[in-house]
Chains A and B, each alone.
Chain A
Amino acid sequence: MRRIASIASLLALAALALLGGCGEPQFSDAEKKIIASLALNTLPSLKPDTTNQYGDVPAAAALGSTLFFDAGMSRDGTVSCSTCHKIDRQFQDDLPQAVGVGHTNRRTMPLAGVARNPWFFWDGRRDSLWAQALTPLENPLEQAGNRAAFAHYIKKRFGERYERIFGPMPDLSTVPANASPLGTDAEKAAWNAMPAGQQDDVNRVYANIGKALAAFERSIEPEQTRFDRFAIDLATGAKPEGDAAFSPEEILGLKLFIGKANCVTCHNGPRFTDNAFHNTGVPTVDGLPPDRGRVDAVAQVEADPFNCLGKFRDGDESACRELRFMVKGGPQIMRAYKTPSLRGAASRPPYMHAGQFATLDEVVAHYSKAPLSVEGVSEVHPLDLSDRERAALVAFLKTLSE
């Protein structure tokens, strides 16, 4: 009788332990699989960019780094890439809209993992990192320069470094001091007066500036966070220790993120982005010019002489499939913007493509309420999250910044 009683007591204890769950976080196998897919250790190594043969050349990255921080790379010598992409602020500027030579209409994007993007800018109006890097250089609101002036500047300041990487600098002796197909009327006239061969020479130097900048930016990669340490422990079955342990609120936030709140639908993979464009009903900003997002970027990337199908690409055309198979029209790209990575997001307000929201609480409240889009159709649907659930989502998002 005593033996039966002791067996029964063991069984009872085992049943209690099962029911009680031992206080461990409970994730289903499906949830564990999603969590593992978000961890940084699943990020593959960065593939070479075959359109930029200098992308992994150290001397090109070194020149790119010099140019990135050089305010001489602007019309008035006051603005560099690093003016908005601040090295100690995740390569962004904490402003609702970037300010270069003038005030722009878009939020500066951070640069961690940027070389992994298929599309650049919030609307994807460029299709390679080197083509992207050229755009602010000539934007009158950003660096406000012109490509002829940049070619002269590179020859004068960095000619020897340039030639060691890219080969002989062309003869620029008859190239006007200021000329560009995108500049002021005078710059356009000067550009149009140049022989085609000379335009090509300047465009080639200009493209190489972008390739050097891209080579430098390829080194900027996301860093491991508390979430990644938690996810690795969850995957291996180890008990999370120290800051890898999540609070009950953070666990609830993670469960909502990959479950009921549907965040992971678009914020997926180890960079928390699907690299695609979505209309999520983000409001307009008073005082800014009309902004229709992706729908207006299609013609811009197609017209860009530095796009993948243009003559300044290295390698063959097989690298151009994103451009070749892009969606060119239809209601789904109206006011659609690129899904941003959420790594580091909690420590870089404000949010959205024009800094519409000052805090993560406002962002989560927006997605919970899911207002209609001012133009086009929002893809998100109301979630009606409770106060506790919204706070839990924000608590989880902070683990991607710690």
Chain B
Amino acid sequence: MASIWRYILAGLGLAALLVGIVAAVYLTLPQSASGPDLSRSKKTANGLFVASFEPERGVVRQGELQSWLLTLKTAAGAPVEGAAITVSGGMPQHDHGLPTSPQATDYLGQGRYRIDGVKFTMSGWWQLHFGISAAAGSDSVVFNVVL
């Protein structure tokens, strides 16, 4: 009888050791590719502007037409006024574009532009590309949104 329990104890000990090794390997593995850059504020491609992009009401809801705010500042921090903005985008992993055609509809002051008509119809990785033309010149920026 006692010998059976000894085997079970030994088995449990081995199992624990195995779990420990697996955990150690898992924790010390280099982090896999961390996915797209999800920052909501960044320099534009040529460094002309600093752009911030966030939902006007704070939350992203799948399947709803939403307005977002694109805030543009110069590298020195001054608000960018009178910018002409084009919007495009899509899902890089699905080879398709946006389900709507968002547009810059209003200038709200302090470099803030309302981008209306944004809709994310499915979960996954979305990209929004902005072309920006202002007094300082033309530049572009890409924001990633993952649902």
Contact = CB atoms under 8 A, between A and B. Distances in A.
Contacts of A269: 62-63
A118 B12 CA distance: 59
B5 A8 contact: yes
Interface string B1-41: 01001001101100100000000000000000000000000
Contacts of A268: 62-63, 121-123
A322 interface: yes
Contacts of A5: 2, 5
A31 to B, nearest CB: 13
A1 interface: yes
A12 B8 contact: yes
A15 interface: yes
A266 interface: yes
A22 interface: no
Interface residues of A, number: 28
Contacts, number: 69
Nearest to A279: B96
Contact of B121 (A8, A11, A15, A274): A274
A325 B122 contact: no
A192 interface: no
Nearest to B9: A8
A146 interface: no
Question: Could you say which of B11, B65, B96, B124 has the most chain A C-beta atoms within 10 Å of its C-beta?
Answer: B96
B8 A9 contact: yes
A330 B99 CA distance: 11
A327 B97 CA distance: 9
A328 interface: yes
A325 B103 contact: yes
A89 interface: no
B12 A321 contact: no
A263 to B, nearest CB: 11
A1 B5 CA distance: 10
Contact of B5 (A9, A277, A322): A9
Contacts of A377: 95
Nearest to A329: B101
A269 B99 CA distance: 16
Interface in A346-396: 377, 379
Given A268-B62, A275-B121, A324-B117, A332 B8 contact: no
Contacts of B2: 1, 5
B100 interface: yes
B106 to A, nearest CB: 13
Contact of B12 (A1, A8, A325, A379): A8
Interface string B49-71: 00000000000001101000000
Contacts of A265: 94, 122-124
B42 to A, nearest CB: 25
B124 A326 contact: no
B128 interface: no
B95 to A, nearest CB: 7
Contacts of B63: 268-269, 274-275
Interface in B108-126: 116-117, 119, 121-124
B85 interface: no
Contacts of A274: 63, 99, 121-122
Nearest to B8: A12
A276 B42 CA distance: 31
Given A15-B15, A326-B101, A327-B99, A321 B121 contact: no
A4 B97 CA distance: 64
Interface of B: 2, 5, 8-9, 11-12, 15, 62-63, 65, 94-103, 116-117, 119, 121-124
28 contacts: A4-B9, A5-B2, A9-B5, A11-B12, A12-B8, A12-B11, A12-B12, A15-B15, A265-B94, A265-B124, A266-B121, A268-B62, A268-B122, A269-B63, A274-B121, A275-B63, A275-B121, A278-B96, A321-B65, A321-B116, A325-B65, A325-B116, A326-B100, A326-B101, A327-B98, A327-B101, A328-B101, A332-B96
Given A8-B8, A325-B100, A327-B99, 6 more contacts: A8-B9, A266-B121, A274-B63, A274-B99, A322-B100, A325-B116
